[in-house]
């Protein structure tokens, strides 16, 4: 045990907490670091950024493949589809759900083949009401392939945050043009509207708190279905010609295996 | 003194943390560790958990080609923050206020506790929901609220386990790492009255039990007040970032009417764009995942989505004191990933409780003593910088490249200086022998005689090692209990004399005999 009780930190009469903390910090920094002070321009930005060659020029089809594989790694369900098959794929992802809620900006066509009762969110249902709804169907703002991350902005397409949190099944539609390769590109897109509430989702709710064993399904939705919309395939010529576009694309997927 | 301090005011100095903080143990690390080491179950749990997560981390870090470049950027960003902390905090306050939030400043644990308590009381909250947060753990917020008759409900699974067991966390990321599944099942059965006793110790079933237990609280959010911490606070936009896995964070950040975030002043990052670095470094270092399941970013309040009232409590509580030491201040760069705990051979055996602080492991060993300050040689905080073998693994894994071993050595040096300066320590046998050695080594002639005689002395002793020295011998008592003290060989000078003599003799006779020096050298030649 210590020989004398520890002293309480001193508070200066007449100074507000803010003034005092600022004065403490300035006094502490009066002793400079030995080498030069680091300015924003000194931060080395030679990691792969949003304008990195790999980010810009990797074949989008390969980026989508990486995304699908990474999301599946989290034990979420991935449905690959095309624009014309989208309603059927959504219906498949919502199979078994009796009630579905959607944010107001979700296109009507998305729910055309859904058997369940579809409710359009008007912002009024509270947590209790949302808890009895089986599933929620939303779009997203961006999807980051390398980390398998869905980026949701609080808007009419991705919904307010409670909507994608309380129902037990979350079905997210990802359009091809929303898919980026790396985190920096994703942050760049979010940075266009930083003040909005954002939610990054990488797989279903999970915990590793018991013996560090990953268990899916704690407080967030226990089922995550991702409907990934690939472009319609090019009409196939009669003779099996080699696919020139993907063969000439940089083979960067190696890095992300 | 700084020119910004008003004339006539007493000079404001950086202050250590409040004594009420959970930063200083009740006894030194060696005593605490000795006891923890006898717990076989604890050691088994720790070994299993730390090796699992180390392997996961290594796997996901290996697949990032620019990992070292990201670390460099993360480190530089954190230096930028410590070098410009006052300005960045001003900017953060402006941004948060502009977005509809209210900023409070807390000099110490008591002030932070008072702010949160009065905010909760004003809103009539009898219960508040809590997201796992190191800062609130550090200031013992739950206990402060309890004194005011407010119940804090921990919603993170591991924090819930710890809270229900009346225990304390032992790891930054996985506070219940010292508990295994069977123990957790027992804790749940004892404290959740509605739990079906047929529940097994399968982690999925246990997580399910926690979900049911907490879901009612979330949906009704009784006091409609939640308290969180934050991983990052962005100065230029006022955005707070909370990184989590389970969804309890999203529940607390979204459903209640009032949100209070208690955030250490070092958590500020300069710009929104800088998140592109930290959101790559943190998840892979922490849980060993490419990305954690949920990350929430929010800026002030948003009508129609989430809490309609947001309070940010910026906490000093000893951080200014850490900043004061130029050689120790990078301890503030820590993003609480806990990678250094998992690789540390000392942590993996002794466990988190032995450190006696909210911040255990290598980072705790440099952060806790700097935050509390060290009062005297008996201070438990004084023992923490010695809770390391200086193997350097912590530095290798640190995502923001905090040179933990260098700071440990720096803090040890400070401790030795302090002890030498006070209480007349280091005037025993050690000091006397050091003084003797100093005199001996400053005279080449005396030194030569001494080492030559040591060589002669060695010849009369059997074996290669000197055995255990008797404790009565005043030179470094106990040093030879666990180490072999080798017998001194011939000194270089006597070897050289011998060598030269033989060379002269060899060139005269033409015989290339091996130099007949000490026995050890001959053995090496044969090997």
At residue B150, the 3 state secondary structure works out as coil
Residues B104-158: pLDDT tens digits?
Answer: 999 999 999 999 999 999 999 999 999 999 999 999 999 999 999 999 999 999 9
pLDDT of residue A238: 61
Is the CB of B316 less than 8 angstroms away from the CB of A11?
Answer: no
Three-class secondary structure assignment of chain A: CCCCCCCCCCCCCCCCHHHHHHHHHHHHHCCCCCCCCCCHHHCCCCCCCCCCHHHHHCCHHHHHHHHHHHHHHCCCEEEEECHHHHHHHHHHHCCCCCEEEECCCCCHHHHCCCCCEEEECCCCCCHHHHHCCCEEEECCCEEECCCCEEEEECCCCCCCHHHHCCCCEEEEEEEHHHEECCHHHHHHHHCCCCCCCEEEECCCCEECCCCCCCEECCCCCCEEEEEEECCCCCCCCCCCCCCHHHHHCCCCHHHHC
pLDDT of residue B436: 78
The partner residues of A119 in beta bridges, in order of sequence, read A101
**What's the average model confidence in pLDDT over A64-90?**
97
Contact status, residue B244 vs residue B292, Cβ threshold 8 Å = yes
Give contacts of B70 with chain A, Cβ < 8 Å: 47
Where does the pLDDT of residue B522 fall: very low under 50, low under 70, confident under 90, or very high at 90 and above?
very low
Residue B246 is assigned to a structural domain of this protein? yes
Q: Give the ipTM of the model, two decimals please.
A: 0.90
Residues B57-83: pLDDT tens digits?
Answer: 999 999 999 999 999 999 999 999 999
Residue B434 is assigned to a structural domain of this protein? no
* Residue that wins the pLDDT comparison between A170 and B41: A170
In angstroms, how far is CA B503 from the centroid of its own chain? Answer: 58
- Picking from A155, A124, A149, the residue whose alpha carbon sits closest to that of residue A200 is A149
Is the CB of B16 less than 8 angstroms away from the CB of A9?
Answer: yes
What range does the domain containing A77 cover?
59-229
Residue B508 is assigned to a structural domain of this protein? no
Expressed in percent and rounded to 5, the helix, strand and coil fractions of chain B are 50, 10, 35
- Nearest chain A Cα to B371, which residue? A9
How is residue A12 written in tokens? Answer: 């200066």
Residue B142 is assigned to a structural domain of this protein? yes
Residue A249 is assigned to a structural domain of this protein? no
Contact status, residue B376 vs residue B422, Cβ threshold 8 Å = yes
Element (H, E) at B260: strand B258-264
Where does the pLDDT of residue B476 fall: very low under 50, low under 70, confident under 90, or very high at 90 and above?
low
Query: From the candidates B88, B107, B307, which should be mutated to test the interface with A, based on the most A CB atoms within 10 A?
Result: B107
Q: What's the total number of domains in chain B?
A: 1
- Picking from B333, B353, B320, the residue whose alpha carbon sits closest to that of residue B407 is B333
Contact status, residue B312 vs residue B306, Cβ threshold 8 Å = no
Residue B162 sits in a domain whose CATH number is 3.40.50.10420
Residue B505 is assigned to a structural domain of this protein? no
Say yes or no to pLDDT of B439 above 90. no
CA distance linking residue A113 with residue A137, whole number of Å? 13
Residues B267-287: pLDDT tens digits?
Answer: 999 999 999 999 999 999 999
Where does the pLDDT of residue B424 fall: very low under 50, low under 70, confident under 90, or very high at 90 and above?
low
Residues A197-211: pLDDT tens digits?
Answer: 999 999 999 998 888
pLDDT of residue A2: 43
Q: Among A175-179, B201-205, B430-434, name the most confident range.
A: A175-179
Contact status, residue B333 vs residue B400, Cβ threshold 8 Å = yes
Residue A130 sits in a domain whose CATH number is 3.40.50.10420
CA distance linking residue B434 with residue B450, whole number of Å? 15
pLDDT of residue A248: 40
Residues B503-516: pLDDT tens digits?
Answer: 988 876 654 444 44
State the number of CA atoms in the 13 A half-sphere of B498 facing the CB: 14
Supply the mean pLDDT for chain B. 89
Element (H, E) at B417: helix B404-421
Say yes or no to pLDDT of A60 above 70. yes
Where does the pLDDT of residue B497 fall: very low under 50, low under 70, confident under 90, or very high at 90 and above?
confident
What range does the domain containing B296 cover?
29-322
Is the CB of A5 less than 8 angstroms away from the CB of B66?
Answer: no
Contact status, residue B314 vs residue B62, Cβ threshold 8 Å = no
CA distance linking residue B487 with residue B493, whole number of Å? 17
- Picking from B438, B515, B519, the residue whose alpha carbon sits closest to that of residue B486 is B519
Query: From the candidates A136, A208, A217, A224, which should be mutated to test the interface with B, based on the most B CB atoms within 10 A?
Result: A208
At residue B84, the 3 state secondary structure works out as coil
CB atoms within 10 A of CB A16: 11
User: Burial level of B236, CB count in 10 A (0-12/13-18/19+)?
Assistant: middle
Q: Which of B247, B297, B379 lies nearest to residue A219, judging by beta carbons? A: B247
Residue B287 is assigned to a structural domain of this protein? yes
Is the CB of B69 less than 8 angstroms away from the CB of A44?
Answer: yes
Nearest CA of chain B to the CA of A102: how many Å?
A: 15
**What's the average model confidence in pLDDT over B480-498?**
77
Cα separation values, B283 from A208, B119, B434, B504, Å: 13, 32, 49, 69
pLDDT of residue B481: 66
Torsion B194-B196-B199-B204 (CA) sign: negative
* Residue that wins the pLDDT comparison between B458 and B325: B325
Residue A215 is assigned to a structural domain of this protein? yes
Residues A2-53: pLDDT tens digits?
Answer: 446 678 899 999 999 999 999 999 999 986 665 678 999 999 999 999 999 9
Give contacts of A207 with chain B, Cβ < 8 Å: 157, 207, 245-246
Residue A75 is assigned to a structural domain of this protein? yes
Say yes or no to pLDDT of B6 above 70. no
In angstroms, how far is CA B155 from the centroid of its own chain? Answer: 24
Phi, psi of B45 (to 5 degrees): -60, -45
Residue B308 is assigned to a structural domain of this protein? yes
- Nearest chain B Cα to A152, which residue? B296
Is the CB of B376 less than 8 angstroms away from the CB of A3?
Answer: yes
Q: Which of A28, A190, A197 lies nearest to residue B14, judging by beta carbons? A: A28
Where does the pLDDT of residue B9 fall: very low under 50, low under 70, confident under 90, or very high at 90 and above?
low
In angstroms, how far is CA B282 from the centroid of its own chain? Answer: 16
**What's the average model confidence in pLDDT over B288-310?**
96
pLDDT of residue B104: 98
At residue B118, the 3 state secondary structure works out as helix
Q: What is the CA radius of gyration of chain B?
A: 29
- Tell the residue number behind the tokens 């090692």, with chain if given: B465
pLDDT of residue B222: 62
Strands B232-234 and B239-244: antiparallel
**What's the average model confidence in pLDDT over B221-248?**
94
How is residue B511 written in tokens? Answer: 């015989």
* Residue that wins the pLDDT comparison between A88 and A237: A88
Residue B194 is assigned to a structural domain of this protein? yes
Q: What's the total number of domains in chain A?
A: 1
User: Burial level of B80, CB count in 10 A (0-12/13-18/19+)?
Assistant: buried
Is the CB of A2 less than 8 angstroms away from the CB of B206?
Answer: no
CA distance linking residue A67 with residue A143, whole number of Å? 8
A241 inside 8 A of chain B by CB: no
Supply the mean pLDDT for chain A. 89
At residue B93, the 3 state secondary structure works out as helix
**What's the average model confidence in pLDDT over A111-135?**
96
């Amino acid at each position: 045990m210590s020989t004398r009780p520890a002293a309480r930190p001193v508070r200066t009469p007449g100074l507000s907490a803010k003034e005092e903390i600022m004065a403490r910090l300035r006094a502490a920094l009066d002793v400079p670091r030995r080498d030069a002070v680091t300015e924003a321009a000194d931060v080395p930005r030679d990691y792969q950024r949003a304008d990195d060659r790999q980010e810009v020029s990797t074949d989008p089809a390969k980026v989508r493949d990486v995304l699908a594989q990474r999301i599946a790694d989290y034990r979420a369900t991935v449905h690959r589809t095309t624009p014309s098959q989208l309603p059927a794929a959504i219906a498949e992802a919502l199979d078994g759900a009796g009630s579905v809620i959607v944010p107001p900006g979700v296109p009507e066509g998305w729910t055309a083949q859904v058997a369940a009762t579809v409710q359009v969110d008007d912002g009024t249902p509270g947590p209790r009401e949302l808890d009895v709804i089986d599933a929620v169907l939303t779009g997203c703002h961006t999807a980051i392939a390398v980390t398998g991350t869905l980026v949701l902005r609080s808007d009419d397409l991705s919904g307010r945050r409670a909507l994608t949190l309380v129902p037990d099944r979350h079905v997210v539609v990802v359009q091809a043009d929303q898919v980026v390769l790396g985190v920096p590109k994703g942050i760049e897109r979010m940075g266009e509207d930083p003040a909005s509430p954002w939610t990054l989702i990488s797989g279903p709710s999970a915990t590793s708190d018991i013996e560090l064993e990953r268990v899916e399904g704690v407080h967030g939705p226990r089922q995550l279905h991702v409907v990934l919309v690939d472009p319609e395939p090019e009409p196939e010529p009669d003779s099996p010609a080699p696919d020139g576009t993907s063969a000439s694309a940089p083979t960067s997927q190696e890095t992300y295996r | 003194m700084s020119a910004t301090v008003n004339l006539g005011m007493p000079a404001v100095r950086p202050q250590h943390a409040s004594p009420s903080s959970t930063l200083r143990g009740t006894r030194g690390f060696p005593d605490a560790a000795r006891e923890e080491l006898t717990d076989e179950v604890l050691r088994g749990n720790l070994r299993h958990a730390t090796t699992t997560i180390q392997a996961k981390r290594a796997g996901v870090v290996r697949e990032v080609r620019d990992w070292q470049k990201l670390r460099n950027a993360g480190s530089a960003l954190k230096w930028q923050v410590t070098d410009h902390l006052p300005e960045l905090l001003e900017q953060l306050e402006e941004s948060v206020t502009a977005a509809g939030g209210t900023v409070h400043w807390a000099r110490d644990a008591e002030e932070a506790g008072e702010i949160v308590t009065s905010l909760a009381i004003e809103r009539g909250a009898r219960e508040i929901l809590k997201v796992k947060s190191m800062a609130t753990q550090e200031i013992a917020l739950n206990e402060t609220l309890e004194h005011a008759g407010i119940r804090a409900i921990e919603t993170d699974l591991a924090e819930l386990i710890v809270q229900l067991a009346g225990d304390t966390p032992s790891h930054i990321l996985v506070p219940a790492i010292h508990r295994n599944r069977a123990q957790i099942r027992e804790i749940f059965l004892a404290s959740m009255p509605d739990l079906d006793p047929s529940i097994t110790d399968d982690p999925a079933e246990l997580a399910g039990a926690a979900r049911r237990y907490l879901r009612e609280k979330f949906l009704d959010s009784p006091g409609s007040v939640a308290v969180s911490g934050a991983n990052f606070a962005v100065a230029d936009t006022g955005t707070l970032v909370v990184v989590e896995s389970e969804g309890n964070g999203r529940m607390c950040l979204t459903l209640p009417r009032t949100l209070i975030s208690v955030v250490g002043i070092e958590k500020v990052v300069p710009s929104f764009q800088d998140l592109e670095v930290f959101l790559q470094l943190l998840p892979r270092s922490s849980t060993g995942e490419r990305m954690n399941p949920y990350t929430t970013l929010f800026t002030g309040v948003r009508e129609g989505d989430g809490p309609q009232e947001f309070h940010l409590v910026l906490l000093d509580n000893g951080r200014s004191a850490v900043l004061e030491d130029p050689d120790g201040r990078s301890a503030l760069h820590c993003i609480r990933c806990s990678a250094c705990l998992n690789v540390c051979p000392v942590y993996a055996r002794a466990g988190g409780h032995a450190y006696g602080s909210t911040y255990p492991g290598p980072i705790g060993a440099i952060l806790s003593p700097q935050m509390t300050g060290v009062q005297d040689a008996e201070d438990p905080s004084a023992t923490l910088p010695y809770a390391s073998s200086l193997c350097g693994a912590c530095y290798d894994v640190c995502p923001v490249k905090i040179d933990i071993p260098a700071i440990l050595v720096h803090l040890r040096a400070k401790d030795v200086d302090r002890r030498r300066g006070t209480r007349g320590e280091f005037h025993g046998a050690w000091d006397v022998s050091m003084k003797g050695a100093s005199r001996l080594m400053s005279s080449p002639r005396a030194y030569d005689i001494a080492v030559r005689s040591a060589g002669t002395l060695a010849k009369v002793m059997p074996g290669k090692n000197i055995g255990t020295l008797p404790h009565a011998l005043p030179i470094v008592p106990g040093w030879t209990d666990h180490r072999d003290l080798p017998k001194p060989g011939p000194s270089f000078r006597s070897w050289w004399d011998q060598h030269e003599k033989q060379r002269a003799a060899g060139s005269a006779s033409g015989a290339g005999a091996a130099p007949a020096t000490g026995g050890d050298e001959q053995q090496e030649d044969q090997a």
